Structure 1
Amino acid sequence: MRTQRLEPRARPTQKRAGQTVDLILTTAAKLLEENGFEELTTNKICTAAGITPPALYRYFPNKYALLCELATRLMAAQNADLAQTAITKGGARPTVADMEEQLAAQVRITRAFPGGVAIMRTLYATPQLIDIRLSSHWSMVDGLKSSQTWLAARMSEPELIRRLRLAVELGNSAIEMVLEDPDLDEASIIHDVAEMIVAYLTKT
């Protein structure tokens, strides 16, 4: 399998260029949501956005690089919210109520982000993008490790990292489940997983 280039060709340095990049990404997110990743092409994005292919290729070499940028922005929004919560709550014993709110906030952020649900679905289904997802999860762990002082005082650093890493995976699995299957009882799933995560993080 040929390795896909994931990084942008260039970063916009002027307002107009930034607007072009935002237009490309917004259009790509809309088409991804409507048609799925397999049907997404750079030509379709250009047509829908009303730009020429050279204008798109100036910033993105292929659709993988586009999705990488969309995913990076989505996960930055998710991680920022998680980090803020961790800073304000990290000094106390984790509670189920706090964990429920964190998980529910991640669901809200993903739904509100243009193409957010489709971006997450594609990240889990596209092998070329696994490093993007794993990098985000490890970024979450790093942020939580430094802020969770209550947990850090009760276990070794390797154990804390292992528990946080698994907690992140459990949380993301629950988020993916409620986003992909609207027939499920969202509140109950979030509550159940919050109980599991808190019990695991605080067990002695």
Structure 2
Amino acid sequence: MTRPTRGRPPAFDRDRVILDAARLFWRHGYSGTSTRALTAALGLSTSSLYAAFGSKAGLFEEAVRTYAERYREIYRRAVAEKDLPTVVERVLIDSVHEFTQPSDVHPGCLLSSTAMTDSTDTLDAGAYYAELHGWNERTLLARIEQAVQDGELTGGTDAAALTGLVQSVVHGLSVQAGLGADREDLLVTAHLAHELIRKCLPSATA
């Protein structure tokens, strides 16, 4: 008779767990997503969920931070580009790619999710997203101001207005993506917006 062996419990894919949990939170909000619903959807026991994330709140916070921080990374990469037209292009194009990630690797837009109005006591998703949006805007503004200081743009450039224009385009692309617009269509729009902005940039060398 073969004696059953005691093996380790199967390891779970943390990234997949966070993605599947985010889908539930995005759809139902924090309080509308029960621990029972999470464990059923994730294939975890309650003890395993708590061991990995501390609590349902801990899982929610990690999900919000994981997917929201991807937008910060877009701006962080973009402002490192050598010239301002490329900075604007990267912000617009990379944003479209993030907004239209396939559902098997992305839970959807946090901005339009129920989680924005139903969060934990320790992490207000709406306030967190607003802080993130503000950081992105300040980062882009600083890069445009640097372009003015470096002589890439004329001294009279309204850096705040230019920042607002780019951010307005990004927000519009996000809304269209949330309404189901196709990635290729959004890329056409983003490229057109980039070309129009590039042509209007008050270049000091023109």
TM-score by length of structure 2 reads 0.61
* CA deviations over 1:56-109 (Å, ceiling 9, x no partner): 34535446x6444323222322322322221113xx3436xx634432212223
Equivalent AA in structure 2 for residue 41 of structure 1 = S
In the alignment, the residues of structure 2 paired with residue 42 and residue 160 of structure 1 have an alpha-carbon distance, to the nearest angstrom, of 47
Q: Which residue of structure 1 lines up, in the alignment, with residue 80 of structure 2?
A: 87
In the alignment, the residues of structure 2 paired with residue 197 and residue 66 of structure 1 have an alpha-carbon distance, to the nearest angstrom, of 40
- Between the two proteins, the alignment pairs up a number of residues equal to 180
Q: Which residue of structure 1 lines up, in the alignment, with residue 5 of structure 2?
A: none
Q: Which residue of structure 1 lines up, in the alignment, with residue 92 of structure 2?
A: 103
- Correspondence 1:1-204 to 2 at 5 A: 22=15, 24-31=17-24, 36-38=27-29, 40-57=33-50, 59=53, 61-62=55-56, 66-89=59-82, 92-94=83-85, 99-110=88-99, 111=101, 114-122=105-113, 126=117, 128-148=124-144, 149-151=146-148, 154=154, 160-161=159-160, 163-164=162-163, 167-182=166-181, 185-194=185-194
In the alignment, the residues of structure 1 paired with residue 168 and residue 24 of structure 2 have an alpha-carbon distance, to the nearest angstrom, of 28
User: Where in structure 1 are there 5+ consecutive unaligned residues?
Assistant: 1-15
Percent of aligned pairs with the same amino acid = 15
The CA deviation at 1:23 is: 5.1
Equivalent AA in structure 2 for residue 103 of structure 1 = L
Q: Which has the larger radius of gyration?
A: 2
The CA deviation at 1:131 is: 0.8
Is the Cα–Cα contact under 8 Å of residues 140 and 163 in structure 2 kept in the other structure?
A: yes
The CA deviation at 1:161 is: 4.9
Alignment partner of 2:147: what SS?
Answer: helix
Is the Cα–Cα contact under 8 Å of residues 117 and 125 in structure 2 kept in the other structure?
A: yes
User: Where in structure 2 are there 5+ consecutive unaligned residues?
Assistant: 1-8, 119-123
In the alignment, the residues of structure 1 paired with residue 149 and residue 61 of structure 2 have an alpha-carbon distance, to the nearest angstrom, of 33
Root-mean-square deviation over aligned CA pairs: 4.1
* CA deviations over 1:122-176 (Å, ceiling 9, x no partner): 17853652212111112213333443321456569xx645653563343133223
Write 1 or 2 for the structure with the bigger share of helix: 1
Q: Which residue of structure 2 lines up, in the alignment, with residue 10 of structure 1?
A: none
In the alignment, the residues of structure 2 paired with residue 126 and residue 177 of structure 1 have an alpha-carbon distance, to the nearest angstrom, of 21
TM-score by length of structure 1 reads 0.62
Alignment partner of 1:117: what SS?
Answer: coil
